[in-house]
Structure formats: structure tokens, C-alpha cells
Structure 1
């Protein structure tokens, strides 16, 4: 089950202490906001969110990262399927406008910087990025390339994609994606908590 991420996603996060007592739909909305909408992540974290209090959003994100790493280490076919469902939920970098309805509002904003630049140069690089995404997903079936962009330009990101494709290690790839998703989630949490502070 997934709430619509575009309707209220830029609202502040609820106080972390209130999370266990909130409706499940709201708990899942928090996960969707910090990570990306993923039924597998909802299923993985539902019992934790309902029963375990967290001292901070960083602690919650660490718990999600820990659960994903445990799935990776377990290596059963079912665990692999759940993990790849979560890791594959992230939008492709440079996703075309026609496909952005499947992308969370925060992902659209994060990618806006990556897609900025002179029009002709930007179009050429977008083509390269599309080709790299296709090559990456051919090399690592079931995965999407995920990186914490953090202000880096498209050229730097594409060099990183090339490095990871050439390395060809799917286990290391899963580890990097888990870490990147947690880095992105921490950045989102920080920004949304600043929004909360500005409104209070």
C-alpha cells in the first residue's frame, strides 16, 4: 500500500516520538517521503514502525538500512526478491518528464539540479545518462543506479556510473545502493525538519 507521494510530501515530517501511534498509512507516507514508495519496504518495516519508538529520524533511517543489509546478508530467494523490490523503487537518474508521475516530489526536485545546464549540452548528456542507465540495468538486473547526488554535476555522476558498471560486482552494488538510499533519506529528513522548525 502506498499513499500518493505528490499530494502532501513536502509537508513537515511528524515528530518522531509520535510515529508508533500514527495510522499505518501515515507511517508508510513517512517511509515513502524518506526513501521512495515501495510495497516491499512497507511490509518490511510495518511491524517495526508500529512497535518500536525511535529517538530521531536518523535512528529510523539506520534501522531501515540495517533491515535492508540483513536481507542482503540472508541471501534467500525471498529475501533477495524483497530487497530488490526496495532497491528498484528508486527512480532512474535523468528520468524523462513522461515518466515523472511515478517519481516522488522530492526526487523530482533533487534531479532538477542534475538536469540543469545549457540546452544542447544538457540534451547530449541526458542521452548518455539514458544509455548508462540501460547498460547498468542490463549488468545488474532488478537494480537501479542510486547515488546521493549532493550537488555533484551530471558528468561526475556519469563517471561514477561507469566505474560501478565496469566493476561488475552486484553484491557491492547492493551495498552502495543501500548506503546511498540512507544518505538521501537523511538529507531529506534534515531538510523537512528544517521546514518544520521554520513553521513553528
Structure 2
């Protein structure tokens, strides 16, 4: 992926650009094409987005353009393409989304989705950091992705705890990470979680369309 390691500012500019018409997205493939910039808004910028997804979509759009009549269709086509990748590439793609509870280097849309614009207690942030670490121990190579859908960070922490089988708590260190058992990479449980995460990335992207007034 040499040549595709571009910063968010280099790709999107200092702020998110206006979304273009669907017809304007079709053209030569490049990390700074109109399609790349649009995908960076919907899915978060990453090398795999610019070097793999964007070229594949450009090729697809020339043959299926008549069936793509909305940005929701574009999101659906993107998710279908991602689901056809090898599992390791899918895992790299979802890792472009920030961890739940992170406050640094968030796009404006991510910050709004995660409730970063609303004060969150240090106890909840520390709990989320621990839960992220536990999740990544349980599912090696994956990052916890969830369609927040307006829930607070405290509520999302409880969803994570339920998924991991943990008691609800504000402890920043319990259970110990060393006590968390890892599932097999590529195994059934790992793959089910990967599939759920990819689907939630699509749900997040469609929610962003609503925020942008495109649906």
C-alpha cells in the first residue's frame, strides 16, 4: 500500500467537503479522487480504503452504475465488496474506525456519533479503555465496532460488558486482561464477530448519510 499513507487533512482537507453527485464520483482511481474523499467521509480514511476499496468500486461503478441511484446504494455496494475480501483485509478495514471512548484524532462525524462532544466521566472513559483492551485480547486482530445509535458512552460500555460476559462495573482493571481467553483467529466465533463489525460499519455509514442530509 505504498503511496496510500495520506493524512486525513491531505485527503479531506481541513474540514469535510461537500458530498458530490453520484455521477461526479466515477473517474480515474486515486487516493484523492472524489470517490476516495466521499468514502473517507462515510467510512473513515485509511490506506486500505484508498488502495483497495476505491479502485474496486471505480471498476464496479462503470458496470453497475444504473443500479446505484443513491448514496445508500453506494454504501451497500461498498459493504458487499468488503465482505468479499479475505478476513485479514476486512479486519484492517474496520480497524480504521476509532476505538469507543477515544477523544483524539476523531473526525467531526465520529466525535458526534461517539458522544465525544458531551462530557463523559473519567471513570467511564477508563472503563472503556479497559474493555477495548479486553475485547482485543478476546478477538485478536479485531477492533470493537458498534453502531452507537444515540447511546451514551456509559450505555455502550454496558453493551461491551454484556458481549464479553463481564459484570457491569466502573473498574479500570477488572477482570484482568490476563484472565481473558482469546478465540482462534479465523474461527467461527472470531468470524461471526468480524461479520457483525462489518455490518455495523455499514449502519454507521448510512447514519452519516442522514446527518449529512443525503437520506
Q: TM-score, normalised by structure 2?
A: 0.73
Superposition RMSD in Å: 2.4
Superposed counterparts of 1:113-132, under 5 Å: 113=115, 116-117=118-119, 122-132=121-131
1:173 to 177, 193, 209: 193
Greater Cα radius of gyration, structure 1 or 2: 2
Q: TM-score, normalised by structure 1?
A: 0.78
Is the CA contact 1:114–1:153 (under 8 Å) kept in the aligned structure 2? Answer: no
Q: Deviations over 1:70-104 (max 9, x none)?
A: 22xxxxxxx222111101111011114xxx23x32
Superposition deviation, residue 115 in structure 1: 6.5
Alpha-carbon distance in structure 1 between the residues aligned to 2:13 and 2:145: 20
2:155 matched residue in structure 1: 156
1:48 to 54, 57, 60: 57
Aligned length: 179
**Structure having the larger proportion of residues in helix:** 1
Relative CO higher for 1 or 2, CA cutoff 8 Å, sep ≥ 6? 1
Is the CA contact 2:90–2:198 (under 8 Å) kept in the aligned structure 1? Answer: no
Is the CA contact 1:92–1:145 (under 8 Å) kept in the aligned structure 2? Answer: yes
Alpha-carbon distance in structure 1 between the residues aligned to 2:59 and 2:81: 15
1:147 matched residue in structure 2: 146
Alpha-carbon distance in structure 2 between the residues aligned to 1:183 and 1:51: 21
Alpha-carbon distance in structure 1 between the residues aligned to 2:15 and 2:26: 20
Is the CA contact 1:13–1:189 (under 8 Å) kept in the aligned structure 2? Answer: no
Is the CA contact 1:149–1:157 (under 8 Å) kept in the aligned structure 2? Answer: yes
1:76 matched residue in structure 2: none
Superposition deviation, residue 23 in structure 1: 6.6
2:79 matched residue in structure 1: 65
1:95 to 87, 92, 102: 102
Superposition deviation, residue 174 in structure 1: 0.9
What secondary structure does 1:21 align onto?
Answer: coil
What stretches of structure 1 of length at least 5 have no aligned partner? 72-78
